[in-house]
Amino acid sequence: MKKEKNDSMDKIISLAKRRGFVFPSSEIYGGFAAVYDFGPYGVELANNIKKEWWKAMTQLRSDVVGLDAAIFMSPKVWEASGHVKGFSDPLTECRKCHGRLRLDTLLEDIGVAADEKMSEEEINQIFDANRDKIKCPTCGAQDFTPGRSFNLLVQSNLGNFTGDWTKEPVYLRGETCQGIYVNYKNVLDSARVRIPFGIAQIGKAFRNEITARQFIFRTREFEQMEMQYFIHPDQTKEVYENWKKIRWQFYLDLGFKEENLKWHQHENLVFYAKEAYDIEYNFPFGFKELEGVHARGNYDLTQHGQASGTNFEYLDPATGEKFIPHIVETSVGVGRTFLAALCEAYREENLNGEERVVLSLPARLAPIKVAIFPLLKNKPELVARAEEIYHALRQKFRCEFDDNGNIGKRYRRQDEIGTPYCVTFDFDSLEDGAVTVRERDSASQERVKIEDLEKYLAPKLG
């Protein structure tokens, strides 16, 4: 079973490279660990995921507004938030192959409950009690250094011209939500919002992840889609339960099977958190965190209020009550959603006696919505008319023109990148003004009048 699952991951990785979804960063120089680039179809899929999230979280809600804060922030932000001191994972090193490993993950892999939030001492006690069961995943050795906390913040020399920037480092943001907290008052004062309301943001985050296996599941540079919802403390339970429902439904609406999702409740809450659940997805390497839905209390605004001297108290215009807003957060990675979408969509099947690989992506996520082919490349009358259709349809949908190889081969290629519809202009089209439209999943074909094509496709493509 495990081997089958690993095989399916390998196949998804290979498809992602072969078809231009994901490339290892700086590959011609041997790669750059835990950093990946999105290729031509990958950037389309990632953009579509972000569009769906942005639409659900801002456009369709009158109580959530958007923000795009800069990646660089004052280092004081990361001191006040607790990241400089406490944003760390427990690290151990294999004494044989010198591979660096996350201790909590090693323990989790043998079914022992551990958490990155445990103190160095706590986790080392559990580690010592289980050393005989833990093997290095790379070389199999059982000889490890004691665990130590390793800070994940990535440092930079931005704006530092002294030549020794390690003394006063600035940081690439470790999470996007800090940009939301420090702009809370700006938004409140400018955007005509009243509590309860949310601020949503999509943007890059950086973490010096200790182990970065499993392809784009865990990378050192990644993008987050985060929403912070500001509330009166008495609203916590109701608002929290509501966001849990909304975020679960988001994945069902993206076409994820419900049996591939589950809730995981955090056992070891950080001291300020009131409630913390993750939505886990059934990746080929097991159920793992996709998104966190957390009730953070008023920790964030209190910390920034104290450190900056800003008064974050909210005056309720109806009751006259003053309070520091509490926060419910939803937070998910673009890359993790991307990988989950690929896993969900990947199928190998036998179609009329021929093997095919197909990405059954929902039309809204598919990188290309419609591919347009002339039946033969060397017939200018077919090519010209197919090009006309391509130029007309691409005003409305993301389209691709392809006249390479036989039709069967072109279908296979579009199946592998998840294109829901292929349109072929053939010799009959010259006579009847209609084209063959082939649907990806059923492979069924229909003749559609050229003038009706847009109307025919629009509702199917959502």
Following DSSP, what letter does each residue of 79-142 receive, concatenated? HHTTHHHH-EEEEEEBTTT--EEEHHHHHHHTT----TTS-HHHHHHHHHHHGGG---TTT---
Taking the least distance from each CB to ligand ATP, the nearer of 181 and 222 is 222
What residues numbered 251-290 form the site for ligand ATP, per CB under 6 A?
A: 289-290
Following DSSP, what letter does each residue of 354-394 receive, concatenated? EEEEEE---TTT-S-SEEEEES-TT-HHHHHHHHHHHHHHT
Query: Residue 367 in contact with residue 417, Cβ under 8 Å?
Result: yes
Nearest residue to the partner ligand ATP, using Cβ: 333
Q: Does 172 bind ligand ATP (CB under 6 A)?
A: no
The two tokens of residue 315 are 């005056």
Q: What are phi and psi of 365, to 5 degrees?
A: -95, -20
Give the burial string for 116-135 (b: 16+ CB within 10 Å, else e): bbbeeeebbebbeeeeeebe
The two tokens of residue 433 are 């003004």
Residues whose CB is less than 8 angstroms from the CB of residue 201 and which lie 6 or more positions away in sequence, other chains included? 66, 67, 68, 69, 176, 177, 179, 180, 224, 225, 226, 227
Choose the binding region for ligand ATP from 76-84, 218-226, 352-360, 407-415 (rule: CB under 6 A): 218-226
The two tokens of residue 414 are 């579009």
Of 336, 385, 410, 440, which lies in the binding site for ligand ATP, with binding defined by CB under 6 A? 336
Where are the extended beta strands (E) located within 173-285?
Answer: 197-206, 221-231, 261-265, 275-283
Q: Does 331 bind ligand ATP (CB under 6 A)?
A: yes
Where are the extended beta strands (E) located within 135-274?
Answer: 148-151, 154-156, 170-172, 197-206, 221-231, 261-265
Of 42, 147, 305, 333, which lies in the binding site for ligand ATP, with binding defined by CB under 6 A? 333
CB of 219 to ligand ATP, least distance (A): 4
CA 328 to CA 108: how far, in whole Å? 27
Q: Give Rg (Cα) of the chain.
A: 25
CB of 174 to ligand ATP, least distance (A): 8
CB of 238 to ligand ATP, least distance (A): 22
Taking the least distance from each CB to ligand ATP, the nearer of 175 and 426 is 175
Residues whose CB is less than 8 angstroms from the CB of residue 160 and which lie 6 or more positions away in sequence, other chains included? 168, 169, 170
CA 318 to CA 62: how far, in whole Å? 20
Token look-up 């009243």 returns 194
Choose the binding region for ligand ATP from 13-21, 327-335, 393-401, 441-449 (rule: CB under 6 A): 327-335
Taking the least distance from each CB to ligand ATP, the nearer of 277 and 421 is 277
CB of 335 to ligand ATP, least distance (A): 5
Q: Does 209 bind ligand ATP (CB under 6 A)?
A: yes
Q: How many residues bind ligand ATP (CB under 6 A)?
A: 16
DSSP structural state of residue 324: P
Taking the least distance from each CB to ligand ATP, the nearer of 175 and 400 is 175
Q: Does 109 bind ligand ATP (CB under 6 A)?
A: no
CB of 331 to ligand ATP, least distance (A): 4
Amino acid identity, position 409: K
x/- mask, ligand ATP, residues 113-152, rule CB under 6 A, reads ----------------------------------------
Of 198, 292, 297, 374, which lies in the binding site for ligand ATP, with binding defined by CB under 6 A? 292
Choose the binding region for ligand ATP from 330-338, 396-404, 423-431, 439-447 (rule: CB under 6 A): 330-338
Of 44, 93, 291, 344, which lies in the binding site for ligand ATP, with binding defined by CB under 6 A? 291
Choose the binding region for ligand ATP from 35-43, 216-224, 295-303, 405-413 (rule: CB under 6 A): 216-224
Of 332, 341, 368, 370, which lies in the binding site for ligand ATP, with binding defined by CB under 6 A? 332
Choose the binding region for ligand ATP from 119-127, 217-225, 246-254, 428-436 (rule: CB under 6 A): 217-225
CB of 209 to ligand ATP, least distance (A): 5
CB of 252 to ligand ATP, least distance (A): 18
Q: Does 425 bind ligand ATP (CB under 6 A)?
A: no
Q: What are phi and psi of 333, to 5 degrees?
A: -90, 140
Query: Residue 132 in contact with residue 142, Cβ under 8 Å?
Result: yes
Of 149, 178, 208, 219, which lies in the binding site for ligand ATP, with binding defined by CB under 6 A? 219
Choose the binding region for ligand ATP from 43-51, 219-227, 255-263, 367-375 (rule: CB under 6 A): 219-227
CB of 233 to ligand ATP, least distance (A): 22
Give the up-direction half-sphere exposure of residue 59: CA atoms within 13 A in the CB hemisphere: 7
Query: Virtual CA dihedral for 202, 206, 212, 216, nearest 10 degrees?
Result: 30
Contacting positions for ligand ATP (CB under 6 A): 175, 207, 209, 218-219, 222, 224, 289-292, 331-333, 335-336
